[in-house]
Structure 1
């Protein structure tokens, strides 16, 4: 039955039978047959469908909660049995907000050194996508903001507080000081992350508090694009200090600290709330705690 529940979860996630089948590596007729068998076993219709996917029925919505729980428990049982016999092995999938990718790399390096038989997949995603992927069991953990928008029920390990700086060409008028206020950015041409990114919403709020309307003539969901745009000339960008330092290293750019009012925004490792966690995931949470200590 677990395989049928996996099919059901894939259809609910993708909202499309063809894409769900492709994600599972099976044919669409096999997927449709599996869903029909699951419905017959449960005695209810789970999915509205005619010529195409029509969404989950009310019974399907209720079954989705159980399916996630049952599949999650089955995966945990498999991982615990594997760890008992072979030690930690397998693969961890981690979704990370773009501004925290350098921290993800540090955590992955430490974890890989301690547990060389566990592979890691690191994906760059928005904070909203990370939460949805965790709920859908599409990733095992995420690195995201802890204190800016609701997270729901998760396990969390704070990693660092995000502080911001202006990334500017060395010859820019704002590049000479030891620090500037947010109000100094009034009228400046900025390239910023796209509005779906939580970091962008934080920066927009900081600018609004300083009475500045951002002139973001270039937007991207990639921090690499933002720094490349500054290098191309005519733009400035605002990034957290850690990722800014990494991307600007060896380039004719200057990082100018922005004077923050109050504490920065907390960023940390999050995972589905579960007691106990799988051995592989618990080891990741433990390594994150050691890293910040």
Structure 2
């Protein structure tokens, strides 16, 4: 059994298409198909359902692809460990990031890159917490920054980063005469744009509001905080965003910020990585960096306020 055969197998499971899998491995389709047939003969079980085109993995293939991913991940970890012994950490660390943390992730990756200048960082910032956790378990990501609540992180290592608190942003005219704090009941009377209901950040808001007998009915929903800020910048809309987001991307000119109360909505953001040894050397290094910096203090962590 060769690593190359396992790489082809994992690529086919990912791409679900022979030609695309071959292209991603920089080999011809016949070469990929022949390598997979040899792997099946060596293992003594069928891995791929074949017809005129790829028809999926067999039940045996679905089980064994998990082992293939694990073996390749361990090989990568071994190579990184050897490289670290020689010259310091090298390679690429893959980090999945929920949209709410897209503007704060640099507070972690910047010091990490300073400490490990030979490591490349690849960020994916449009993923949801559940997808990030699943991809870490499939060894497709080394680490993730997610909401702690609402997703099963069993078998993963969790490192607390900070607690976000949501605030209201609106044009100065909409907030005329208001200062400091606004209640949700008052805020919901404004023309509102919010994240759409499938996103965890929005679900946290809806859960907290439902506990107070309130309901948000925004006219505009989006899957991007940037899109919300663009609407607010017109002066005719209000939106709710995580306070830490504004550190990396300040509110547009002419837009004011008010704290939201009754209820106060907070959510804990954590770094998750695969547990166990040897694990990802790069993921472990990222955890060490997270432990050396104080994101909570930098972002004004409101953890002294009980989450709603």
Q: Report how far residue 269 of structure 1 moved.
A: 1.0
Aligned position for 2:240: 238
| 1:130-184 deviations in Å (ceiling 9; x for gaps) | 1232233222111111222212321111101121011111221378231122222
Q: Is the 8 A contact 1:96 1:130 kept in 2?
A: yes
Give the 5 Å matches for 1:161-180.
Answer: 161-173=163-175, 176-180=178-182
Aligned position for 1:43: 44
Helix, strand or coil at the partner of 2:293: helix
Q: Is the 8 A contact 2:190 2:238 kept in 1?
A: yes
Helix, strand or coil at the partner of 1:149: coil
Aligned position for 1:196: 198
Give the 5 Å matches for 1:124-163.
Answer: 124=125, 125-163=127-165
Distance in 2 separating the partners of 1:258 and 1:145: 20
Distance in 2 separating the partners of 1:16 and 1:235: 45
**Root-mean-square deviation (CA), in Å?**
2.2
| 1:47-87 deviations in Å (ceiling 9; x for gaps) | 22322332222211220221122111111111111111221
Aligned position for 1:212: 214
Give the 5 Å matches for 1:4-83.
Answer: 4-83=5-84
Distance in 1 separating the partners of 2:172 and 2:63: 57
Tell which deviates more after alignment, 7-16 or 221-230.
Answer: 7-16
* Structure 2, unpaired ranges of 5+: 296-308
Equivalent pairs counted in the alignment come to: 293
Aligned position for 2:108: 107
Helix, strand or coil at the partner of 1:180: strand
Q: Is the 8 A contact 1:169 1:175 kept in 2?
A: no
Distance in 2 separating the partners of 1:240 and 1:123: 19
Q: Is the 8 A contact 2:166 2:265 kept in 1?
A: no
Distance in 1 separating the partners of 2:153 and 2:262: 24
Helix, strand or coil at the partner of 1:21: helix
Q: Is the 8 A contact 1:126 1:197 kept in 2?
A: yes
Change (3 A) 1:145 1:19: farther
Change (3 A) 1:104 1:148: same
| 1:217-266 deviations in Å (ceiling 9; x for gaps) | 32222211111111124322111101034333462211111126578321
Distance in 2 separating the partners of 1:190 and 1:250: 16
Q: Report how far residue 5 of structure 1 moved.
A: 1.4
Structure ranking higher in helix proportion: 1
Change (3 A) 1:28 1:235: farther
Helix, strand or coil at the partner of 2:277: coil
Distance in 2 separating the partners of 1:264 and 1:212: 17
Aligned position for 1:185: 187
Q: Report how far residue 113 of structure 1 moved.
A: 1.1
Aligned position for 2:94: 93
Tell which deviates more after alignment, 46-55 or 258-267.
Answer: 258-267
Give the 5 Å matches for 1:272-287.
Answer: 272-287=274-289
Q: Is the 8 A contact 2:156 2:274 kept in 1?
A: yes
TM-score of the aligned structures, taking structure 2 as reference length? 0.86
Q: Report how far residue 187 of structure 1 moved.
A: 4.2
Change (3 A) 1:129 1:24: farther
